[in-house]
Amino acid sequence: MRALVKAKPEQGIWMEERARPEIGPKEVLVRVHKTGICGTDVHIYKWDAWAQNTVPVPMVVGHEFAGEIVEVGSDVKDLAIGQRVSGEGHVVGMNSRASRAGKFHLDPETRGIGVNLPGAFAEYLALPAFNAVPLPDSIDDELGAILDPLGNAVHTALAFDIVGEDVLITGAGPIGIMGAAVARHVGARHVVITDVNPQRLELAGKVADVVPVNVAETELRDVMSRLGMKEGFDVGLEMSGAPAALDEMIAHTVMGGRIALLGIPAQPFPFDLGKVVFRMITLKGIYGREMFETWHKMLAMLESGLDIRGVITSRMPAADYQKAFESAAAGGEGKIVLDWQ
Ligand code: NAD
Ligand code: ZN
Protein backbone atom coordinates (compact mmCIF):
# COMPACT_ATOMS: atom_id res chain seq x y z
CA MET A 1 0.00 0.00 0.00
CA ARG A 2 1.01 3.66 -0.37
CA ALA A 3 1.83 5.50 2.86
CA LEU A 4 3.25 8.89 3.80
CA VAL A 5 6.26 8.16 5.93
CA LYS A 6 8.56 10.23 8.08
CA ALA A 7 11.42 8.20 6.72
CA LYS A 8 14.44 10.30 7.72
CA PRO A 9 15.24 12.54 10.71
CA GLU A 10 15.22 15.76 8.64
CA GLN A 11 12.66 18.15 7.09
CA GLY A 12 10.28 16.40 4.70
CA ILE A 13 7.88 13.50 4.24
CA TRP A 14 8.05 10.68 1.74
CA MET A 15 5.48 8.50 -0.08
CA GLU A 16 6.59 4.86 0.25
CA GLU A 17 5.30 1.41 -0.53
CA ARG A 18 4.53 -0.41 2.75
CA ALA A 19 3.04 -3.76 3.73
CA ARG A 20 -0.68 -3.58 4.53
CA PRO A 21 -0.98 -3.66 8.37
CA GLU A 22 -1.99 -6.91 10.07
CA ILE A 23 -4.78 -6.49 12.60
CA GLY A 24 -5.03 -7.99 16.08
CA PRO A 25 -8.19 -9.64 17.51
CA LYS A 26 -9.46 -6.34 18.97
CA GLU A 27 -8.69 -4.20 15.90
CA VAL A 28 -10.32 -3.27 12.62
CA LEU A 29 -8.65 -2.59 9.27
CA VAL A 30 -9.82 0.68 7.74
CA ARG A 31 -9.52 1.44 4.02
CA VAL A 32 -8.70 5.12 4.33
CA HIS A 33 -10.74 7.39 2.03
CA LYS A 34 -9.83 10.91 3.15
CA THR A 35 -7.40 12.47 5.61
CA GLY A 36 -6.88 15.93 7.07
CA ILE A 37 -3.48 17.57 7.56
CA CYS A 38 -3.03 18.74 11.15
CA GLY A 39 -0.60 21.23 12.70
CA THR A 40 0.98 18.20 14.37
CA ASP A 41 1.75 16.72 10.95
CA VAL A 42 3.37 20.00 9.94
CA HIS A 43 5.58 19.89 13.07
CA ILE A 44 6.62 16.37 12.05
CA TYR A 45 7.17 17.49 8.44
CA LYS A 46 9.37 20.39 9.57
CA TRP A 47 11.09 18.12 12.10
CA ASP A 48 11.12 20.71 14.88
CA ALA A 49 12.39 20.11 18.43
CA TRP A 50 9.07 18.60 19.60
CA ALA A 51 9.00 16.15 16.66
CA GLN A 52 12.64 15.17 17.15
CA ASN A 53 11.95 14.36 20.81
CA THR A 54 8.67 12.54 20.18
CA VAL A 55 8.49 10.68 16.86
CA PRO A 56 10.54 7.52 16.22
CA VAL A 57 11.70 7.25 12.59
CA PRO A 58 10.51 5.66 10.32
CA MET A 59 6.85 6.35 11.11
CA VAL A 60 3.69 6.46 8.98
CA VAL A 61 2.16 9.81 10.01
CA GLY A 62 -1.40 11.21 10.12
CA HIS A 63 -4.31 10.87 12.54
CA GLU A 64 -7.27 12.69 10.94
CA PHE A 65 -9.15 10.23 8.73
CA ALA A 66 -12.37 8.77 7.46
CA GLY A 67 -12.74 5.45 5.67
CA GLU A 68 -14.47 2.11 5.54
CA ILE A 69 -13.94 -1.05 7.58
CA VAL A 70 -12.63 -3.86 5.36
CA GLU A 71 -11.64 -6.41 8.01
CA VAL A 72 -12.60 -6.99 11.65
CA GLY A 73 -10.59 -8.79 14.34
CA SER A 74 -11.93 -12.04 15.80
CA ASP A 75 -13.00 -10.39 19.09
CA VAL A 76 -14.78 -7.46 17.47
CA LYS A 77 -18.52 -7.88 17.75
CA ASP A 78 -20.14 -4.50 17.21
CA LEU A 79 -18.49 -3.27 14.01
CA ALA A 80 -18.95 -4.69 10.53
CA ILE A 81 -17.19 -4.80 7.18
CA GLY A 82 -18.47 -1.99 4.97
CA GLN A 83 -19.17 0.38 7.87
CA ARG A 84 -17.92 3.96 7.38
CA VAL A 85 -15.86 5.23 10.30
CA SER A 86 -13.65 7.96 11.60
CA GLY A 87 -11.89 7.46 14.89
CA GLU A 88 -10.03 8.66 17.92
CA GLY A 89 -6.29 8.91 17.28
CA HIS A 90 -5.35 8.64 20.96
CA VAL A 91 -4.84 5.01 21.88
CA VAL A 92 -5.32 4.65 25.62
CA GLY A 93 -4.32 2.02 28.15
CA MET A 94 -6.92 0.42 30.41
CA ASN A 95 -4.89 0.17 33.62
CA SER A 96 -4.67 3.71 34.98
CA ARG A 97 -7.03 4.99 37.64
CA ALA A 98 -8.47 7.48 35.10
CA SER A 99 -9.19 4.79 32.48
CA ARG A 100 -10.73 2.47 35.03
CA ALA A 101 -12.99 5.36 36.02
CA GLY A 102 -14.03 5.80 32.37
CA LYS A 103 -12.05 9.03 31.94
CA PHE A 104 -10.05 7.72 29.02
CA HIS A 105 -8.87 11.15 27.87
CA LEU A 106 -6.96 11.46 31.16
CA ASP A 107 -5.01 8.22 30.75
CA PRO A 108 -1.29 8.98 31.24
CA GLU A 109 -0.26 6.09 28.97
CA THR A 110 -1.92 7.51 25.85
CA ARG A 111 -0.10 7.00 22.55
CA GLY A 112 -0.96 8.73 19.29
CA ILE A 113 -1.48 7.18 15.88
CA GLY A 114 0.74 8.94 13.37
CA VAL A 115 2.99 10.11 16.24
CA ASN A 116 4.18 7.04 18.11
CA LEU A 117 1.99 4.41 16.45
CA PRO A 118 1.60 3.83 12.67
CA GLY A 119 -0.75 6.48 11.29
CA ALA A 120 -3.59 7.18 8.89
CA PHE A 121 -1.80 8.77 5.90
CA ALA A 122 -1.93 5.43 4.12
CA GLU A 123 -4.31 3.32 2.10
CA TYR A 124 -4.99 1.12 5.15
CA LEU A 125 -4.98 1.76 8.88
CA ALA A 126 -5.10 -0.80 11.72
CA LEU A 127 -7.23 0.76 14.48
CA PRO A 128 -8.34 -0.56 17.89
CA ALA A 129 -12.07 -1.24 17.54
CA PHE A 130 -12.52 0.79 20.74
CA ASN A 131 -11.29 3.89 18.86
CA ALA A 132 -13.54 3.54 15.81
CA VAL A 133 -16.45 5.98 15.54
CA PRO A 134 -19.16 4.96 13.02
CA LEU A 135 -20.26 7.80 10.74
CA PRO A 136 -23.91 8.56 10.02
CA ASP A 137 -24.78 8.83 6.30
CA SER A 138 -25.21 12.59 6.69
CA ILE A 139 -21.50 13.01 7.47
CA ASP A 140 -19.46 12.45 4.34
CA ASP A 141 -15.82 11.41 4.17
CA GLU A 142 -14.33 14.90 4.02
CA LEU A 143 -16.21 15.98 7.15
CA GLY A 144 -15.32 12.63 8.71
CA ALA A 145 -11.66 13.42 8.02
CA ILE A 146 -11.76 16.63 10.08
CA LEU A 147 -13.67 15.36 13.11
CA ASP A 148 -10.44 15.12 15.11
CA PRO A 149 -9.74 18.90 15.02
CA LEU A 150 -13.47 19.68 15.23
CA GLY A 151 -13.35 17.59 18.40
CA ASN A 152 -10.58 19.82 19.79
CA ALA A 153 -12.77 22.83 19.03
CA VAL A 154 -15.85 21.25 20.61
CA HIS A 155 -13.94 20.02 23.67
CA THR A 156 -12.62 23.56 24.24
CA ALA A 157 -15.81 25.47 23.41
CA LEU A 158 -17.88 23.26 25.73
CA ALA A 159 -15.37 23.38 28.59
CA PHE A 160 -17.51 26.12 30.18
CA ASP A 161 -21.15 27.15 29.89
CA ILE A 162 -21.21 29.71 27.05
CA VAL A 163 -24.95 30.03 26.49
CA GLY A 164 -25.70 33.77 26.40
CA GLU A 165 -22.06 34.58 27.23
CA ASP A 166 -19.60 36.83 25.41
CA VAL A 167 -16.78 34.68 24.07
CA LEU A 168 -13.30 35.68 22.96
CA ILE A 169 -11.37 33.25 20.78
CA THR A 170 -7.68 33.98 20.19
CA GLY A 171 -6.28 32.33 17.03
CA ALA A 172 -8.28 31.94 13.80
CA GLY A 173 -6.58 28.73 12.70
CA PRO A 174 -8.88 25.91 11.61
CA ILE A 175 -9.59 24.96 15.23
CA GLY A 176 -10.30 28.53 16.35
CA ILE A 177 -12.64 29.03 13.40
CA MET A 178 -14.51 25.80 14.13
CA GLY A 179 -14.60 26.79 17.82
CA ALA A 180 -16.26 30.06 16.81
CA ALA A 181 -18.87 28.19 14.77
CA VAL A 182 -19.56 25.91 17.74
CA ALA A 183 -19.86 28.86 20.15
CA ARG A 184 -22.39 30.46 17.82
CA HIS A 185 -24.27 27.16 17.35
CA VAL A 186 -24.71 26.57 21.08
CA GLY A 187 -25.94 30.09 21.78
CA ALA A 188 -23.14 32.43 22.84
CA ARG A 189 -24.01 36.16 22.51
CA HIS A 190 -20.99 37.95 21.04
CA VAL A 191 -18.26 35.77 19.54
CA VAL A 192 -15.08 37.68 18.77
CA ILE A 193 -12.11 35.93 17.13
CA THR A 194 -8.64 37.46 16.92
CA ASP A 195 -5.61 36.76 14.77
CA VAL A 196 -2.75 38.65 13.16
CA ASN A 197 -3.17 36.92 9.79
CA PRO A 198 -5.74 38.69 7.53
CA GLN A 199 -6.31 35.58 5.37
CA ARG A 200 -7.28 33.55 8.42
CA LEU A 201 -9.62 36.29 9.70
CA GLU A 202 -11.30 36.53 6.32
CA LEU A 203 -11.90 32.78 6.38
CA ALA A 204 -13.28 33.01 9.94
CA GLY A 205 -15.82 35.62 8.82
CA LYS A 206 -16.94 33.37 5.96
CA VAL A 207 -17.32 30.18 8.01
CA ALA A 208 -18.94 31.53 11.17
CA ASP A 209 -21.13 34.44 12.19
CA VAL A 210 -18.38 36.07 14.27
CA VAL A 211 -16.56 39.36 14.67
CA PRO A 212 -13.03 38.92 13.29
CA VAL A 213 -10.42 41.27 14.78
CA ASN A 214 -6.88 41.79 13.58
CA VAL A 215 -5.11 42.57 16.86
CA ALA A 216 -2.08 43.87 14.95
CA GLU A 217 -4.26 46.79 13.81
CA THR A 218 -7.27 47.11 16.11
CA GLU A 219 -7.66 47.50 19.89
CA LEU A 220 -9.92 44.88 21.42
CA ARG A 221 -11.30 47.61 23.77
CA ASP A 222 -12.67 49.48 20.74
CA VAL A 223 -14.39 46.35 19.47
CA MET A 224 -15.91 45.80 22.91
CA SER A 225 -17.30 49.35 23.04
CA ARG A 226 -18.74 48.94 19.56
CA LEU A 227 -20.52 45.77 20.73
CA GLY A 228 -21.75 47.49 23.90
CA MET A 229 -19.64 45.31 26.18
CA LYS A 230 -18.47 47.09 29.32
CA GLU A 231 -16.52 44.74 31.53
CA GLY A 232 -14.95 42.10 29.34
CA PHE A 233 -15.49 38.63 27.90
CA ASP A 234 -17.11 35.99 30.08
CA VAL A 235 -15.29 33.08 28.51
CA GLY A 236 -12.01 32.88 26.58
CA LEU A 237 -10.92 30.08 24.26
CA GLU A 238 -7.16 30.33 23.65
CA MET A 239 -6.47 28.65 20.32
CA SER A 240 -3.21 30.20 19.11
CA GLY A 241 -0.46 29.15 21.53
CA ALA A 242 0.87 32.74 21.21
CA PRO A 243 2.02 34.39 24.49
CA ALA A 244 0.67 37.79 23.33
CA ALA A 245 -2.76 36.23 22.81
CA LEU A 246 -2.94 34.90 26.37
CA ASP A 247 -1.91 38.32 27.77
CA GLU A 248 -4.60 39.97 25.68
CA MET A 249 -7.17 37.42 26.77
CA ILE A 250 -6.46 37.80 30.48
CA ALA A 251 -6.59 41.59 30.13
CA HIS A 252 -10.04 41.47 28.48
CA THR A 253 -11.74 38.83 30.66
CA VAL A 254 -14.36 39.79 33.28
CA MET A 255 -13.79 39.30 37.00
CA GLY A 256 -14.48 35.64 37.66
CA GLY A 257 -14.18 34.82 33.95
CA ARG A 258 -13.17 31.43 32.61
CA ILE A 259 -10.46 30.60 30.07
CA ALA A 260 -9.96 27.27 28.28
CA LEU A 261 -6.45 26.78 26.89
CA LEU A 262 -5.99 24.60 23.79
CA GLY A 263 -3.13 26.41 22.01
CA ILE A 264 0.28 24.89 22.56
CA PRO A 265 3.08 27.42 23.13
CA ALA A 266 6.36 26.71 21.36
CA GLN A 267 8.21 27.15 24.64
CA PRO A 268 7.52 28.18 28.26
CA PHE A 269 6.73 31.90 28.64
CA PRO A 270 5.98 34.35 31.47
CA PHE A 271 2.50 35.83 31.93
CA ASP A 272 0.77 38.01 34.53
CA LEU A 273 -0.40 35.47 37.09
CA GLY A 274 -1.26 38.33 39.46
CA LYS A 275 -4.04 39.42 37.10
CA VAL A 276 -5.43 35.88 37.08
CA VAL A 277 -5.42 35.84 40.89
CA PHE A 278 -6.90 39.30 41.49
CA ARG A 279 -9.51 38.86 38.77
CA MET A 280 -10.32 35.35 40.07
CA ILE A 281 -10.06 33.86 36.59
CA THR A 282 -10.29 30.10 36.07
CA LEU A 283 -7.73 28.63 33.64
CA LYS A 284 -8.37 25.13 32.26
CA GLY A 285 -6.03 23.15 30.02
CA ILE A 286 -7.66 21.16 27.22
CA TYR A 287 -6.06 18.20 25.48
CA GLY A 288 -7.52 16.09 22.70
CA ARG A 289 -11.14 15.09 22.93
CA GLU A 290 -13.19 13.40 25.64
CA MET A 291 -13.68 9.76 24.76
CA PHE A 292 -16.32 9.55 23.63
CA GLU A 293 -18.49 12.35 24.91
CA THR A 294 -16.92 14.96 22.60
CA TRP A 295 -17.45 12.63 19.62
CA HIS A 296 -21.11 12.23 20.54
CA LYS A 297 -21.61 15.98 20.90
CA MET A 298 -19.91 16.91 17.64
CA LEU A 299 -21.77 14.33 15.57
CA ALA A 300 -25.02 15.48 17.18
CA MET A 301 -24.26 19.15 16.47
CA LEU A 302 -23.34 18.40 12.83
CA GLU A 303 -26.65 16.59 12.51
CA SER A 304 -28.49 19.54 14.04
CA GLY A 305 -27.16 22.24 11.72
CA LEU A 306 -23.57 23.03 12.76
CA ASP A 307 -21.86 23.83 9.46
CA ILE A 308 -18.06 23.92 9.41
CA ARG A 309 -17.44 22.64 5.88
CA GLY A 310 -16.15 26.06 4.78
CA VAL A 311 -13.04 25.55 6.90
CA ILE A 312 -11.84 23.07 4.23
CA THR A 313 -9.99 25.26 1.74
CA SER A 314 -8.17 22.63 -0.37
CA ARG A 315 -8.90 19.12 -1.57
CA MET A 316 -6.11 17.17 -3.28
CA PRO A 317 -5.18 13.64 -4.26
CA ALA A 318 -2.72 12.07 -1.79
CA ALA A 319 -0.13 12.04 -4.59
CA ASP A 320 0.04 15.86 -4.28
CA TYR A 321 1.21 15.58 -0.67
CA GLN A 322 4.30 17.72 -1.27
CA LYS A 323 2.23 20.67 -2.42
CA ALA A 324 -0.26 20.05 0.39
CA PHE A 325 2.39 20.08 3.13
CA GLU A 326 4.07 23.20 1.74
CA SER A 327 0.72 24.93 1.68
CA ALA A 328 -0.13 23.80 5.23
CA ALA A 329 3.28 24.97 6.46
CA ALA A 330 2.74 28.41 4.87
CA GLY A 331 -0.22 28.97 7.26
CA GLY A 332 -2.71 30.75 4.99
CA GLU A 333 -5.14 27.89 4.44
CA GLY A 334 -7.89 26.33 6.53
CA LYS A 335 -8.03 22.52 6.47
CA ILE A 336 -6.42 20.64 3.59
CA VAL A 337 -8.00 17.26 2.85
CA LEU A 338 -6.13 14.50 0.95
CA ASP A 339 -7.97 11.85 -1.03
CA TRP A 340 -6.58 8.28 -0.81
CA GLN A 341 -8.98 6.56 -3.24
P1 NAD B 1 -2.84 27.21 13.68
O2 NAD B 1 -1.39 27.32 13.98
O3 NAD B 1 -3.29 26.90 12.30
O4 NAD B 1 -3.58 28.55 14.14
C5 NAD B 1 -3.10 29.39 15.14
C6 NAD B 1 -3.44 30.82 14.72
O7 NAD B 1 -3.04 31.71 15.77
C8 NAD B 1 -2.72 31.28 13.45
O9 NAD B 1 -3.68 31.66 12.48
C10 NAD B 1 -1.87 32.45 13.95
O11 NAD B 1 -1.74 33.48 12.99
C12 NAD B 1 -2.68 32.92 15.16
N13 NAD B 1 -1.95 33.81 16.06
C14 NAD B 1 -0.62 34.01 16.21
N15 NAD B 1 -0.37 35.01 17.08
C16 NAD B 1 -1.57 35.45 17.52
C17 NAD B 1 -1.98 36.46 18.43
N18 NAD B 1 -1.10 37.21 19.10
N19 NAD B 1 -3.30 36.65 18.64
C20 NAD B 1 -4.22 35.89 17.99
N21 NAD B 1 -3.89 34.93 17.10
C22 NAD B 1 -2.58 34.70 16.87
O23 NAD B 1 -3.40 26.12 14.70
P24 NAD B 1 -4.69 25.18 14.75
O25 NAD B 1 -4.44 23.95 13.97
O26 NAD B 1 -5.93 25.95 14.48
O27 NAD B 1 -4.60 24.80 16.29
C28 NAD B 1 -4.76 25.81 17.28
C29 NAD B 1 -3.81 25.62 18.43
O30 NAD B 1 -4.18 24.45 19.17
C31 NAD B 1 -2.35 25.40 18.05
O32 NAD B 1 -1.52 26.03 19.04
C33 NAD B 1 -2.19 23.90 18.13
O34 NAD B 1 -0.85 23.51 18.38
C35 NAD B 1 -3.07 23.59 19.30
N36 NAD B 1 -3.63 22.24 19.37
C37 NAD B 1 -3.80 21.74 20.60
C38 NAD B 1 -4.38 20.49 20.77
C39 NAD B 1 -4.60 19.98 22.13
O40 NAD B 1 -5.01 18.82 22.26
N41 NAD B 1 -4.37 20.78 23.17
C42 NAD B 1 -4.77 19.75 19.65
C43 NAD B 1 -4.62 20.31 18.39
C44 NAD B 1 -4.04 21.55 18.25
ZN1 ZN C 1 -5.13 16.70 14.40
Over residues 295-330, the pLDDT tens digits come to 999 999 999 999 999 999 999 999 999 999 999 999
Q: Which fold has domain 153-285?
A: Rossmann fold (3.40.50)
Looking from the CA of residue 38, the nearest atom of ligand 1 is 25
Q: Domain extents for the chain?
A: 2-146+308-339, 153-285
Over residues 173-194, the pLDDT tens digits come to 999 999 999 999 999 999 999 9
Average pLDDT over residues 71-88: 98
Over residues 109-146, the pLDDT tens digits come to 999 999 999 999 999 999 999 999 999 999 999 999 99
Closest ligand to C-alpha of residue 113 is 2
Q: 288 CA to middle of ligand 2, Å?
A: 9
Q: Which fold has domain 2-146+308-339?
A: Quinone Oxidoreductase; Chain A, domain 1 (3.90.180)
Confidence at residue 291, expressed as pLDDT on a 0 to 100 scale: 97
Active site residue 194: no
Would you mind telling me the total number of residues written for the chain in this entry? Answer: 341
Its ipTM equals 0.99
End-to-end Cα spacing for the chain: 12
Ligand 1 contact, 112 CB (< 6 A)? no
Ligand 1 contact, 242 CB (< 6 A)? yes
Which of 239, 246, 284, 311 has most ligand 1 atoms within 8 Å of its beta carbon, as the pocket-test mutant? 239
Ligand 1 contact, 196 CB (< 6 A)? yes
How far apart are alpha carbons 336 and 42 in whole angstroms? 12
Ligand 1 contact, 200 CB (< 6 A)? yes
199 in Cβ contact with 327 (< 8 Å): no
The residue from 33, 35, 40, 253 that is catalytic is 40
Q: Say whether 153-285 and 2-146+308-339 share the same fold.
A: no
Active site residue 43: yes
With cut-offs at 50, 70 and 90, classify the pLDDT of residue 217. Answer: very high
- The phi, psi pair for 33, rounded to 5°, reads -100, -55
The long-range contacts involving 218-225, CB below 8 angstroms and separated by at least 24 positions, are: 220/168, 220/192, 220/194, 220/248, 220/252, 221/252, 223/192, 224/252
Average pLDDT over residues 138-159: 98
- Taking CA atoms, 276 is separated from 109, 157, 253, 282, 312, in Å, by 31, 20, 9, 8, 36
Beta strand 191-195 with 211-214 is parallel
With cut-offs at 50, 70 and 90, classify the pLDDT of residue 335. Answer: very high
Q: What single-letter amino acid sits at 238? A: E
125 in Cβ contact with 18 (< 8 Å): no
